Structure 1
Amino acid sequence: MANSPTGDALLDRLLRLFEALEAHPRLHPGELADRADLPRTTGYRLIQELTSRGLLSRSDAGEIEIGQRLWEFAQGAPISRTLRQSSLPYMQDVNAVVCHTTQLAVLEGSRVLIVERLSQHGAVVNPAEVAGTMPAHLTSMGHVLLAFAPAQVAAEWLQAHARTVEAERPQLRRELAEAKTRGYASLGGVINSETTGISVPILNSGGHAEAALTIVVPRSSPNIPTFLMALQTAARGISRALRRR
């Protein structure tokens, strides 16, 4: 129910505050209210109420950021409680082999959402961050998630983003078919000119991808075939663990 002069509901206003912090993790209260398109008096009141309950917090510099209480709630979500916890031991094994970055992702609308990320000192540059998103059509994660998605899901995604795909990745349909045939997706030099992302699907009992397991390594590495074998072994282990749970 709408309960403000502008006609938007309380939940809408709260979501805009959190979405503003998603894009800009630290903002002064006035900036946050402005970015959430709220009158400052309303914004200040909501920020104060959320801060008092631990859903937002205030830094020593007076900036507002996501609060620890919200993080605690998020840990109870199925994506963290089941997928992330089942995957972590296998991801640690993979990262011990590749010595760079290993990450876990799911399809989230037009993009891929990073669920977990492990990295070692000296790893190649990788802009992925936990709880951040990256474009599905420009990452090996997105390729493998679309290639192993139910046919209707993939078709609807391609139709919805046809203009973007045509402009930025016109060969995407062919790449998805190749990834489905090979059982993995490899994309080098797109996000970073010196790295390759290699992803394999974590499959459910229906043979569709629940998530993507990915490594980001140097394009020039001679050990990529070995890394791929470790990745595929780990993905099969995670799939079995998820079915048991």
Structure 2
Amino acid sequence: MAGNTSVPGASVVSRSLALLFAFDDQHRRLTLSELARRADLPLPTAYRLVGELVAGGALVRRGSGEYVVARRLWQVGLLAPVETGLREVAAPFLNDIHAATRATVHLAVRERTEVLYLERLSGRASVPVVSTVGSRLPLHATGVGKVLLAHAPDDVVEAALAQLGRVTPYTVTQPARMREQLDRIRRDGYATTVEEMTLGACSVAVPIRAGGAEGRVVAAVGIVVPSLKRDRPRLVAALQVAAQGIGRSLG
């Protein structure tokens, strides 16, 4: 929910952005009334602005009456530096890991208190996952998310610890236990999850540091498998090699 856009003084731009930001991974198709509610706008205002967004090529109205994000807006989003540079640099390394494991491979960055998935490679042998390219998931319930949270600023960590929602029966929801895990991630250099986001799926992830081992953590690369009992050391080693290669390439 965008919020605060119905108050007097809110600009046309802020209200239009609220309508666009009403879409997310769980809300890919919205009716006009749903758009107005999620953007916190009066229905007549939403009707006028949505019409302008459709005319401008930012939204598309389906035959059902629902609205979706237009391809033109998606193309603009791909111009963001985090998309173009990082994805292009990481692509060969991600492909190598996927070819060697046939498991789901993730490339992700942090956006506030969520993990944003920039890339996902999977195949028929991969474990079912809920992530998609462009989707956002809780930091505390995913391998790549835990890595990014472990290296996030203190205010982000505190905000994330204040909203440890339960996704599965195995999701860590106790702040003290999560702090212990974050300390261990910083010490060991990798994070793991065991059915914390999806039942039947485990993950391991490592940080990507721009420029090398002492650089700033800018992203995370991870892999999702049915179990980590036997192959964790091998997977961690493969991910660390890939992360180092990506980090050096970023410069």
TM-score w.r.t. structure 2 length?
A: 0.85
Match for 2:122 among 110, 119, 122? 119
Task: Mark the CA change 1:33 to 1:214 in structure 2 (over 3 Å): closer, same or farther.
Answer: same
Give me the whole-angstrom Cα distance separating, in 2, the residues matched to 1:214 and 1:159: 24
Three-state SS of the structure 2 residue aligned to 1:46 is: helix
Aligned equivalents of 1:160 and 1:224: distance in 2?
A: 30
Moved over 6 A (4+): none
Offset, 1:199: 0.5
- Decide whether the 8 Å contact of 1:57 with 1:66 is kept in 2: yes
The 2-side partners of 1:26 and 1:117 are apart by 22
Which consecutive residues of structure 1, in runs of 5 or more, have no partner in the other structure? none
* Counterpart selection for 1:104 from 95, 99, 107: 107
Alignment correspondent of 1:18 = 20
* Deviation of 1:159 (Å): 2.9
CA distance in 2, matches of 1:50, 1:171: 46
Residue pairs, 1:72-221, within 5 angstroms:
72-149=75-152, 153=153, 155-164=154-163, 167-205=173-211, 206-219=214-227
Q: Which amino acid aligns with 1:185?
A: A
Aligned partner letter, 1:215: I
Choose between structure 1 and 2: higher helix proportion.
1
Runs of 5+ in structure 2 lacking a partner?
Answer: 165-171
Secondary structure of residue in 1 paired with 2:120: strand
Letter in 1 for 2:193: L
Is this contact kept in 1: 2:116–2:137, CA < 8 A?
A: yes
Distance 1:4 1:159 in 2: 30
Alpha-carbon separation, structure 2, partners of 1:225 and 1:179: 14
Matched pairs, number? 237
Q: Which stretch shifts more, 196-205 or 53-62?
A: 53-62
Equivalent residue number for residue 67 of structure 1: 70
Q: How does 1:22-33 map to 2 (within 5 A)?
A: 22=24, 23-33=26-36
Letter in 1 for 2:145: G
Sequence identity percentage: 36
